[in-house]
């Protein structure tokens, strides 16, 4: 068999650049990206097919040190399951910062069966550049990594070298997905995530962590895509913040999401948003399952 195919789990603490890395490798938006933790909440597959090699990247939620709420525990389980199924693990850390949460992730990797490649992300922020050698040496001393790459997911530095190295760690196998497929997530999921991304970017403090988005209607015709979405918040006090004075926040979020969706879908989009309160949904295992969380 001449074809290579396998799963590559991308793990790290929250907000370290995992989704930015996958989007850069894929050359398209697979996962939403913000500067806040908990942006990625689901396991999302990104399928990269090049000739006789298919790499299935598994974008995972950041592993949380304090998993006090049901959603945080669910995200930790999702990341742990990705590790168990992986043929190769990419551990993403920052070149200029190491935290207790990084240590927690590294402890989990010590019991993983798959080889681990360390990625020192955000090297574009390292000044002077001589400090990078020190960061590489420090990372090398932390664990017996198969390889270590200094990268910048944002600037796409060293990603070609990383992609050239990955196939050697994957098994000989026929492709698991069609060549034209880029992700296992459908358009409704992607629409909900785009809306949540815009909300997360606009809102501050704790509000983004207490909301989720459900698509109630998704219709495609020859003229446009019609999307009706409900934004669920877990406290009544959050509803007014999401709507904003005179509905301005909701209007701004809707406009930004619609423009993004028009570009992604290559079509005109009619988007309508509503806000509803669902008490404490993010700390209820049953509600999380009903809302499509794993």
Structural domain boundaries enclosing 101: 4-169
**What is the structure's pLDDT at 130?**
87
**What is the structure's pLDDT at 1?**
66
CA 175 to chain centre: 23
Clarify whether residues 208 and 256 are in a common domain: yes
Which bin fits 274, alpha (ψ -120 to 50), beta or left (φ > 0)?
A: beta
Split into its structural domains, the chain has a count of: 2
Clarify whether residues 199 and 96 are in a common domain: no
Clarify whether residues 23 and 123 are in a common domain: yes
The stretches in the chain having pLDDT less than 70 are 1
In 221-268 the beta strands, taken as DSSP E runs, fall at 225-233
Domain boundary among 169, 204, 238: 169
Residue 176 lies in a domain: no
Can you tell me the distance from the alpha carbon of 51 to that of 3, in angstroms, rounded to the nearest whole number?
Answer: 9
Backbone angles phi, psi at 25, to 5 degrees: -65, -40
Clarify whether residues 92 and 214 are in a common domain: no
Q: Based on the number of CB atoms within 10 Å of its own CB, is 18 exposed (0-12), middle (13-18) or buried (19 or more)?
A: buried
**What is the structure's pLDDT at 62?**
87
**What is the structure's pLDDT at 288?**
93
Clarify whether residues 88 and 151 are in a common domain: yes
Q: Over the stretch 174-194, which tens digit does the pLDDT of each residue have?
A: 999 999 999 999 999 999 999
Q: Based on the number of CB atoms within 10 Å of its own CB, is 205 exposed (0-12), middle (13-18) or buried (19 or more)?
A: exposed
pTM for this predicted structure: 0.93
Burial 114-125 (b: 16+ CB within 10 A, else e): bebbbbbbbbee
């Amino acid at each position: 068999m001449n074809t290579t195919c396998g799963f590559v789990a991308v793990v790290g603490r929250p907000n370290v650049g995992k989704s930015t890395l996958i989007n850069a490798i894929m050359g398209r938006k697979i996962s939403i990206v913000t500067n806040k933790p908990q942006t990625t909440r689901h396991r999302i597959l990104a399928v990269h097919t090049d000739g006789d090699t298919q790499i299935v990247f598994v974008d995972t939620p950041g592993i949380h040190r304090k998993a006090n709420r049901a959603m945080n525990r669910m995200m930790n389980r999702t990341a742990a399951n990705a590790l168990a199924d992986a043929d190769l693990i990419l551990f993403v850390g920052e070149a200029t910062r190491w935290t207790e949460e990084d240590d927690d992730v590294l402890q989990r990797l010590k019991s993983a069966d798959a080889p681990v490649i360390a990625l020192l992300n955000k090297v574009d922020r390292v000044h002077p550049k001589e400090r990078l050698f020190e960061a590489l040496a420090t990372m090398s001393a932390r664990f017996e990594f198969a390889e270590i790459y200094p990268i910048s997911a944002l600037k796409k530095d060293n990603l070609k070298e990383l992609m050239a190295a990955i196939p050697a760690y994957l098994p000989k196998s026929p492709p698991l997905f069609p060549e034209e497929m880029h992700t296992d997530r459908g358009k409704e999921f992607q629409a909900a995530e785009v809306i949540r991304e815009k909300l997360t970017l606009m809102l501050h403090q704790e509000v983004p962590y207490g909301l989720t988005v459900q698509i109630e209607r998704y219709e495609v015709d020859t003229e446009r895509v019609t999307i009706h979405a409900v934004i669920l918040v877990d406290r009544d006090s959050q509803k007014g913040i999401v709507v904003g004075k005179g509905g301005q926040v909701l209007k701004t979020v809707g406009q930004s999401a619609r423009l993004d969706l028009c570009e992604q879908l290559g079509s005109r989009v009619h988007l309508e948003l509503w806000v509803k309160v669902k008490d404490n949904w993010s700390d209820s295992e049953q509600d999380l399952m009903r809302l499509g969380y794993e």
